[in-house]
Structure 1
């Protein structure tokens, strides 16, 4: 711990801090509308039903190869939509009324092959409290394969990261399931999670059990039931993950990591000279917020600023919260950014290109 300093602590907000006024207005004008919460639950159950129906259709109609691939693709899309919408909300306790109900729903991603408990710990204890903060945000710093943080090691292969990362991103869910998960549990280098969390033994059991069960029902059962070769089923499964990854990566690259992103390096005593709310505005951006199609597909990611300021609120409230955030940001001369998704992707490309060299133009300051 000595080489990275103490856990970051943000400056205490003053009595007239903008966020206190903003939160009061959000409470009075938006959060009392319970219909938006009911809408969220209906969406959650509908997406889960789509995944289950898709799987049933594979077993029923998968002897037709075109249908087999098509349904696996639909299942992949439903899988990532469940992750970025209801699971994401449930992990923050923002989907159902009780903590127990939300935690039960979170187990759905264990059936997708990952470990829900470890993802939740990473996300809630490291990313949300310390977004974009070097040495702490493990959602931004995931691997030395790509250099994003200015203080990360610079390797010769990073010279080409703005090219090769676009070939790796389509494999994001597979890398997550079969590399990153094991790094979280067994890795020692840059293992931010283990600084603040001791992984229970039962989670090690669940890690392997979830992956075994996922491969069993995704690959083995269809092979037993259908008159398809294992190679065909495996290929459809790979296509499912490629599709899922492409949908998910849009959210991954559009909200925190772009050419103008701030990646503060906290002082050794951990004492930041910025408030928590101002920091969230500094390091978080929206994309296509207010577009009904993108809002439906990406939930709390299109309105990601609202999500970071109000993480325990369901994403169906965010379209009404974002205009209030934008108003207060303008009144207080604070940053609020929303751009088209293609601009966000282009900006991420420029980040990859600029950070491949030691004289990076990124904002790396001690706050």
Structure 2
């Protein structure tokens, strides 16, 4: 890999929209602590929901239809707990005290992954540099899929809009058993390890988390239930498949639609927009006015608000988004909100276009 030049943003001017936006949000929205408490209540509710569905597997799992039902519900609750509670905790947005948010992040080890690495990848690379090639590692994940216009084109990409439709249901399995190991041990395009060193203890935690995750999700049901091993394993696979289907909706609906821009910093890394303007350019909302979607996906439906106010609880975002929309109109800044179905469809349109091997997208000249 060539030497990476860190992107830097233009300093805000005296009429910067974000300064005014921050002040208004602070005065009109963030003062209501009841909205923050809703996030704490929701966090514990989702945690108990996950525990309840797992307990139901052990109690009712000898009846095969209920075994599959509760594994599937466990998968849904796993994703909801991750998207809502863990994601907010990673930004310090659930509890008042930092140490409480950090402790809650260990729920990711409970799911078999590594919270330290995820936090660094998400907070140090994705949030400061969304949609910027070589920096936003949440988007660049595998050679199987070509998202960035300047990524290497491989022959298989012409079919990516077809095979990714089949592979996305395996997203969590890929995350736990392929991508985590690539991030820890891989050398090709490993931008995480290029800018930071992974502490040795995290390697031990990675393996311990995966062993423990498989033990309680597969091993204990095998020991307790009177079910063939393949039925339990199939239920576990259904947990990941249905959980992935829910999670992928959020993951592909916020930055990578058919009109997405992928700004390329100049050689010196100095961007011609401010940090807040960049967030507005590359981030989209979906189903922001849908109460069920807001409950399921937390800060992802109001993702523009999340990127502008990442350290704020997602329960505040429905109150912040109307203010953002007003400033976007006043300052002629982009703001897009799709229905979830349209957002997902738009992502696959992008995959089809990017699979043609042509640079079809404007980079968003900065």
| 1:150 alignment partner in structure 2 | 149
Once residues 68 and 19 of structure 1 are traced to their aligned partners in structure 2, the CA distance between those partners, rounded to angstroms, is: 50
1:103-162 CA distance string (max 9 Å, x none): 000101101100011000000000000000011100011111000011111001111001
Give, in whole Å, the separation in 2 of the partners of 1:245 and 1:5. 33
Deviations for 1:307-347, whole angstroms, at most 9, x for unmatched residues? 00000000000000000000000011110100111111111
- Separation in 2 of the partners of 1:95 and 1:141? 28
CA distance in 1, matches of 2:176, 2:266: 34
1:91 equivalent in structure 2? 90
Tell me what 1:363 maps to: 362
- The superposition leaves residues 51-103 of structure 1 with CA deviations (integer Å, 9 ceiling, x where unpaired) of 11111111111100011000111111100000000100000000000110000
8 Å CA contact 2:353, 2:360 repeated in 1: yes
Q: Give CA deviations for 1:165-185 in whole Å, capped at 9, x if unaligned.
A: 000000000000000000110
Q: Secondary structure at the match of 2:271?
A: strand
User: Using the alignment, how far apart are the partners of 1:360 and 1:340 within structure 2?
Assistant: 27
User: Are 2:153 and 1:190 aligned?
Assistant: no
Query: Hey, what does 1:68 align to over in structure 2?
Result: 67
Q: Distance in 1 between matches of 2:15 and 2:363?
A: 29
Which residue in the other structure is 2:132 paired with? 133
Aligned position for 1:102 = 101
* Aligned twin of 2:296: 297
2 CA distance for matches of 1:157 and 1:320?
Answer: 44
Which structure 2 residues correspond to residues 17-96 of structure 1 after superposition, within 5 A?
17-96=16-95
| Structure 1 residue 364: Cα displacement | 2.2
Deviation of 1:4 (Å): 5.0
- 1:194-242: CA deviation from partner (whole Å, max 9, x where unpaired): 1221100000000000000000011111000000011000000000000
Q: What do residues 237-259 of structure 1 show as CA deviations (whole Å, max 9, x unaligned)? A: 00000010000000011000011
Deviating more after overlay: 305-314 vs 47-56: 47-56
| Runs of at least 5 residues in structure 2 that lack an aligned partner in the other structure | none
Say which SS state the counterpart of residue 56 (structure 1) adopts.
helix
- Is this contact kept in 2: 1:4–1:268, CA < 8 A? no
CA distance in 1, matches of 2:362, 2:41: 42
Residue 365 of structure 1, CA deviation: 4.7
Alignment correspondent of 1:321: 320
After TM superposition, list the pairs within 5 Å mapping 1:266-345 onto structure 2.
Answer: 266-345=265-344
Q: How does 1:216-227 map to 2 (within 5 A)?
A: 216-227=215-226
Contact 1:265 1:364 in 2 (8 A): yes
Instruction: Measure, in 2, the Cα distance between the counterparts of 1:73 and 1:5.
Output: 42
Contact 2:92 / 2:311 at 8 angstroms: preserved in 1? yes
TM-score after normalising by structure 2: 0.99
Deviation at 1:361, TM superposition (A): 1.4
Q: Give the equivalent residue in structure 2 for 1:347.
A: 346
Structure 1 equivalent of residue 8 of structure 2: 9
Distance 2:4 2:86 in 1: 33
| Alignment partner, residue 264 of structure 2 | 265
Q: Which residue of 2 aligns with 1:235?
A: 234
2:9 match: secondary structure = strand
Shift of residue 267, structure 1, vs aligned partner: 1.6
CA distance in 1, matches of 2:127, 2:364: 19
Shift of 1:5: 3.7
Q: For residue 268 of structure 1, report the CA deviation from its aligned partner.
A: 2.1
Q: Is the 8 A contact 1:264 1:366 kept in 2?
A: yes
Paired residue total: 366
